[in-house]
Amino acid sequence: MRKLTVAVMVFAMAVSSVFAGGAAEKAVVQDGMTFSNWSGSEKASSEIFTWMIDSFNQKSPAEDKVVQINWPWGDTESQLAIRAQGTEQYDVAQIDIRMLPALAQAGVLADLTGVFGADFFTKNFSEGSVSVGNFKGTQYGVPWTVAPMALITNTKILKESGVDFPIVTIADFEKACEMVKTNHPANKDSDLSNDIIPYAAMTKDSGTAAPDFMVWLWTFGASVYDAQGKSALNSDKAVSALTWFNSLMQRGYIQKVMSRGDARTLYKEGRVAFYDDALMSKGAITNEAFGDISNYAFPQVHPVLAKGDKPQASGWGHLLVIIDRSPKKASAKAFIEHLISEEVALKYFKENGMLPSKKSILSNDAVTSDYWSNAWTPVLAGGRLAETAGPQYAAANAVILEEMQSMLSGSKSPKQAADAMKSRIDVL
Amino acid sequence: MNRSSRNHALMGWILILPALTVFVLMILYPFVNSILISFTDRNLIYANAQFVGLENYRKIFSDINTLKLIWTTCKFVFFSTLGPFFIGLIWALLMNQKFKGSEFLRGVALVNWIIPGIAIGFLWSWIFNGDYGILNALLVKLGLLDHNVIWLGGKSTSMLAVVTARTWQMFPWYMAFIMGGLQGVSAQQCEASRIDGANNFQMFIHVVVPAIKPVLTLILILGAIGNLQHFDLINVMTGGGPERATSTFATEVYKKAFKEYSLGRSAALGVVWALLLSVFSGFYLKRIQED
């Protein structure tokens, strides 16, 4: 009886494995199209996303109506990669530019030159914007919003702390942080619940902490990888960057376990003087209690090590992509054209501060006269993709974060943390 | 085998077939498939994979963090089992006194256990938050702190935070089981021990504990197994950080699979985890057989 039981279970497993494969089958075509994204589920942008989709659906036949699928930003890369291996129909997706290498290499994305034509990109977008949607010579993404990240400054807090000088160098930045920490009235009273954090640097999640730290690495002239692809995190310049970053913790300018969400919440409450964020942060940090955003928020370029150095910035942007298995590429093209059309792009810009990507719309009065987009202009000049963008680099981000946390907690010196980063990344 | 007993056997198979199907599809097949994946370089992003033999296991056992992972898992299991166990025991003994309102209190205590783990994780993340958490606010108000403590940012304080949350979540479960066991304690034996001059503590040690020992052993083993598998609270509150201070097998397997996309390595880690679990499962099965 026992042998029979085992035999039945093995047979059942063998049978179930036939159905459990499922990869590389044709997508099941269904009515309508899907638009997968994360912004549609975020409070700051859910309304505008619903409007974008509804306005398209109103003028579309039933077979082309768009249904929204949401997941958190952090899950987008893995969700698209896994689901593209199944049979569900996925058509259009919003992706972060950092996700492009992984998804392109996985064969998830369609070559858009075949869908839109090569002229479409050169005619409508700047070279820089087009390039962020290109991977190894193939155009996979339509630029939706492209702008490097900036150091978002709370000018109101700086003023209240007596900071009345431009922040150009690292030394200026440190001086401003010290003045915020010691001079701001909220840091002098006994109520700890409204203390101002000088710099809400990312120290919690590897997906944000590592790319944000890379900007400071580049500022010090260091990099994660050398020309041979080996980790260069134990170079003298990298150790200098780590030592400097560690000094921010020792001087009380930064905190442990700070996530982007925490930083935005605290900034909105008027409790953060500096933090790193992207153009789309406007919706997340707007606080009507402080009046117009121009009264308190200013996106500035990162400070440089020495005057005359080129400011560094982390590339940021959103792309619209078409899933290669989509049986509705023509309809997906129409939906993407709708999303980047003047009417929709200007409304998205007005509601969320997301810069349009098309050249013709960038010169629109509504954009050129807007405080937030104008303030971002100096930042637009810079920006490079994080060195650890790509599926094989996710582990590297985790190593960078862990060793950084060890350093910030005092378990390791900056040199020890740098050596550990190098030795661990090289064996990944 | 005659016709009647064949029919009898067939009927038995038909009745267990649904459960067997679910077991094979949901447990056995994924388990065996995971073992097979652990010998490949399967990646979440790429569909194709190659056989790599014991390479994933070699990487796991040569990783300097593996020993730390085992130690952290043991620490979490130890404190998250004993903490709610003792609180549940005390609560059960109190509720067993059947005073006015004890039924209500017993029901209220069970609410902790009913709330989903993710919701509890977010709740305690807010309580322990360094900038706007209620714990810091309370301790500062009482004059016990003069600066905000980043509870989830320190190696020891983060473990304390997740163990506290887990204790709060699980002590009703222990309480419920122990209360069931306490119903089987002989009232005559308790009375006899009182007559013999035993105080409360002596009665507890010499009468109550021996009577409920099978229940206590069982819930400790089941509690340890549950904590070995636990994921929600740790993932929400700390994500396994800072510096892997709260990284257990559950969070590490998740991180390897869905953050680093290394399914092969994640599966290998899962196999090691299953072996660790099997030790406790062995105790449990032995316990059941003894009963």
Residue B234, in any domain of the structure? yes
Number of neighbours of residue B218 by Cβ within 10 angstroms = 17
Shortest CA gap B44–chain A (Å): 7
Largest interatomic CA distance in chain A: 86
Residue B1, in any domain of the structure? no
Nearest Cα neighbor of A278 from A321, A315, A312 is A315
Tens of pLDDT, residue by residue over A143-181, are 999 888 999 999 999 999 999 999 999 999 999 999 999
Residue B285, in any domain of the structure? yes
pLDDT at A24 over 50: no
Tens of pLDDT, residue by residue over B56-99, are 999 999 888 899 999 999 999 999 999 999 999 999 999 888 78
The residue with greater pLDDT, A107 or A332, is: A332
Number of neighbours of residue B200 by Cβ within 10 angstroms = 10
Give the C-alpha separation, A264 to A42, whole Å: 13
Nearest CB to A9 within list B24, B130, B243: B24
Nearest Cα neighbor of A181 from A244, A251, A116 is A251
Give the C-alpha separation, B268 to A401, whole Å: 24
Inter-chain touch B243–A192, beta carbons under 8 Å:
no
Contacts of A262 in chain B (CB under 8 A): 131
pLDDT at A27 over 60: no
Boundaries of every domain in chain A: 24-139+316-380, 150-314+390-426
Inter-chain touch B21–A411, beta carbons under 8 Å:
no
**Any idea what the CATH number is for the domain that residue B194 is in?**
1.10.3720.10
Residue A207 pLDDT: 87
Phi, psi of A298 (to 5 degrees): -145, 125
Contacts of A207 in chain B (CB under 8 A): 259
pLDDT at B139 over 90: yes
Average pLDDT over residues A421-427: 91
Nearest CB to B261 within list A78, A255, A409: A78
Nearest Cα neighbor of A278 from A223, A204, A352, A336 is A352
* B34 interfaces chain A, CB cutoff of 8 Å: no
The per-residue pLDDT of chain B, averaged, comes to: 91
CB pairs < 8 Å spanning A and B: 106
Residue in chain A nearest B19 by alpha carbon: A9
Inter-chain touch A192–B258, beta carbons under 8 Å:
no
Residue B12, in any domain of the structure? no
Average pLDDT over residues A316-326: 94
Give the C-alpha separation, B11 to A242, whole Å: 70
Under CATH, which architecture does the A150-314+390-426 domain have?
A: 3-Layer(aba) Sandwich (3.40)
The count of domains in chain B is 1
pLDDT-derived band of residue A26, with 50, 70 and 90 as boundaries? very low
Residue B13, in any domain of the structure? no
- Name the percent of chain A lying above pLDDT 70: 92
What is the domain extent for residue B279? 55-290
Residue in chain B nearest A411 by alpha carbon: B243
Residue A14 pLDDT: 55
The CA-atom distances, in angstroms, between A246 and each of A237, A303, B60, B288 are 14, 17, 30, 54
Residue B35, in any domain of the structure? no
Best probe of the A interface among B260, B263, B265, B269, by most A CBs < 10 A, is B260
Would you state the structure tokens that stand for residue B34, as one six-digit string?
């995971």
pLDDT at A13 over 80: no
Contacts of B130 in chain A (CB under 8 A): 255-257
Residue B32, in any domain of the structure? no
Class of CATH domain A24-139+316-380: alpha beta
Q: Which residues contact B101 (CB under 8 A, 6 or more apart)?
A: none
Tell me if A24-139+316-380 shares its fold with A150-314+390-426: yes
Inter-chain touch B24–A85, beta carbons under 8 Å:
no
Tens of pLDDT, residue by residue over B166-176, are 999 999 999 99
Residue B155, in any domain of the structure? yes
Tens of pLDDT, residue by residue over B214-268, are 999 999 999 999 999 999 999 999 999 899 999 999 999 999 998 888 999 999 9
ipTM of the complex: 0.80
Give the C-alpha separation, B210 to B207, whole Å: 6
Average pLDDT over residues A339-344: 96
Average pLDDT over residues A311-337: 94
Residue B99 pLDDT: 84
